[in-house]
Amino acid sequence: MTLAQESTSLQFECETGNYHTFCPISCVAWLYQKIEDSFFLVIGTKTCGYFLQNAMGVMIFAEPRYAMAELEEGDISAQLKDYEELKRLCLQIKRDRNPSVIVWIGTCTTEIIKMDLEGLAPKLESEIGIPIVTARANGLDYAFTQGEDTVLASMAHKCPKSVKEEEEKEERNAIHKLLNFGRKKEDISQEESEYKDHPPLVLFGSLPDPVVTNLTLELKKQGVKISGWLPSKRYTELPVIDEGYYVSGVNPFLSRTATTLMRRRKCKLIGAPFPIGPDGTRAWIEKICSVFNIEPQGLEEREAKIWESLEEYIKLIRGKSVFFMGDNLLEISLARFLIRCGMTCPEIGIPYMDKRYQKAELDFLEKTCNEMGVPVPRIVEKPDNYNQIQRIYELKPDLVITGMAHANPLEARGINTKWSVEFTFAQIHGFTNARDILELATRPLRRNNNLKELGWEKLVKEEAKI
């Protein structure tokens, strides 16, 4: 094994793919909450249901707008007709919940038995009068957060185009009136003038509403107007996407969505680092501004101020090392941010590395390493958890960011861990949320500082052997 060579350009490796991650169907858990009028139907087996039920914990009990279409032996052997079965279930969903869209999540089983969901959907859609979006978020092809990518890529097809000229006058006016009711004309034009003149920009990636507001305002300060988000709060409010629109991703795992927007909707992708950490947020805004020929205002000061406010946390991790086992594709951005905070990072495991979609982020990572004077991490695609654990024993990193399957066993062996999934569910985007990332990353260190005096770090009997 060649460890930590003093190389200054990124090296990529690929292991066996024997690693632990969540199944991509987990995306329903956050997407049904994000898209308020949706219903997610996961077409799969007990295995899928069991995973969702246990992984989502208490959310299950809150009358979620998702359910399993549990396949039985008759479905597998094609004794039952898929179309009739799906129709029966979807009608029941329509009756009970009346959603504005039903999202079918295809699973491993539907892949293997080759159930033609994409073919069935349009037929059923017109029969029951509810749009059906099909996403193949299965464990054969994807990992964890990539599930969202498959859903958003399908939704990108459903985004409306702007209305034709003749109809537009009447309708637009009506909508305008509605939107601007009660406000005087001057106010409206004044509001418009707060924005610079630039082609429409649509952002993609599902974020909690407070983060959406936050990033929207951040761009507004630069005079950049966001015409829409994919996804929006409601399916009925999906943004207009026309040929020539600009799009930009807010998360590193959205490469299919980006591809779909470029190829099928003829949009122009702004490839930027992702707005994670103050450095990432600034680079993200700067890139968008540069595409629109806008001179960004006050960003440097804004970033500096955020860093200043983070000093308390950074003190705890400066000079320490972090090891990403890899399971949610946020790893590159998080590592880049933590390196900027003064950490070193020997290894970044990642399920899948789209070097084109993440190009700006990868360049930024390399630049950050050089500026901070630390060796660049080795990037391990499709990692092998067993091998990684051997490397962890050898490297003894100060912090391992990993899935729950390994967290407790590593802690018992005296290795600090942070559960990676929390980064997916916490608010980590934009300037304001940088604190939350560090709150998460430093929690194990702070906890163990508190317990330091007790002298019980290794709590397994024999010398650790996995």
Residues of the shown chain interacting with another protein in the complex, contacts defined by CB under 8 A: 17-24, 43, 45-47, 49-51, 53-55, 57, 60-61, 63-64, 67-73, 75-76, 80, 85-86, 88-89, 92-93, 96, 108-109, 111-113, 138-144, 386, 389, 403-409, 412, 459-460, 466
Q: Which is nearer to another protein, 89 or 163 (CB)?
A: 89
Q: Which is nearer to another protein, 23 or 283 (CB)?
A: 23
Q: How far is the CB of 453 from another protein (least distance, A)?
A: 22
Closer of 226 and 400 to another protein (Cβ): 400
Q: Are 439 and 423 in contact (CB under 8 A)?
A: no
Compute the distance between CA of residue 130 and CA of residue 148 in angstroms, rounded to an integer: 21
Q: Which residue's CB is nearer to another protein, number 83 or number 307?
A: 83
What residue ranges in 174-330 does DSSP mark as E strands? 201-204, 226-230, 246-249, 268-269, 321-324
Which of 1, 459 has the CB closer to another protein?
A: 459
Among residues 45 and 255, whose Cβ is nearest to another protein? 45
Least spacing, CB of residue 51 vs another protein, in Å: 5
Enter the tokens of residue 341.
């905070």
Report the candidate in 135, 156, 361 with the shortest Cα–Cα distance to residue 257: 156
How many other CB atoms sit within 10 Å of the CB of residue 160? 12
Nearest distance from C-beta of residue 251 to another protein, angstroms: 19
Residue 238: name the closest of 36, 94, 428, 90 by CA.
Answer: 36
Cβ closer to another protein: 67 or 437?
67
Q: Which amino acid is at 70?
A: E
**In one letter, which amino acid is 215?**
L
Kindly state the smallest distance separating residue 412's Cβ from another protein, in Å: 4
**Minimum CB–partner distance for residue 337 and another protein (Å):** 26
Which residue's entry shows tokens 């309708």? 171
Cβ closer to another protein: 139 or 239?
A: 139
Q: Give least dist CB 69 to another protein, A.
A: 5
Would you say 146 or 232 has its CB closer to another protein? Answer: 146
The distance of closest approach from Cβ of residue 323 to another protein in the complex, given in angstroms and rounded to an integer, is 16
Are 413 and 460 contacting, i.e. CB atoms less than 8 angstroms apart? Answer: yes
> Can you tell me the distance from the alpha carbon of 346 to that of 326, in angstroms, rounded to the nearest whole number?
13
Instruction: Return d(Cα 331, Cα 438) in angstroms, integer.
Output: 14
Please list, residue by residue across 371-400, b when 16 or more beta carbons sit within 10 angstroms of its beta carbon and e when fewer do: eeebebbbbbbbbbbeebbebbeeeebbbb
Taking the complex as a whole, the smallest distance from the CB of residue 16 to another protein amounts, in Å, to: 8
What minimum distance in Å lies between the beta carbon of 344 and another protein? 26
Cα distance between residue 150 and residue 134, in whole Å: 9
Q: Which two tokens stand for residue 412?
A: 């018992």
Identify how many contiguous H helices and E strands the chain contains and give both numbers.
19, 14
Bond from prior residue into 231 cis (ω within 30 degrees of 0):
yes
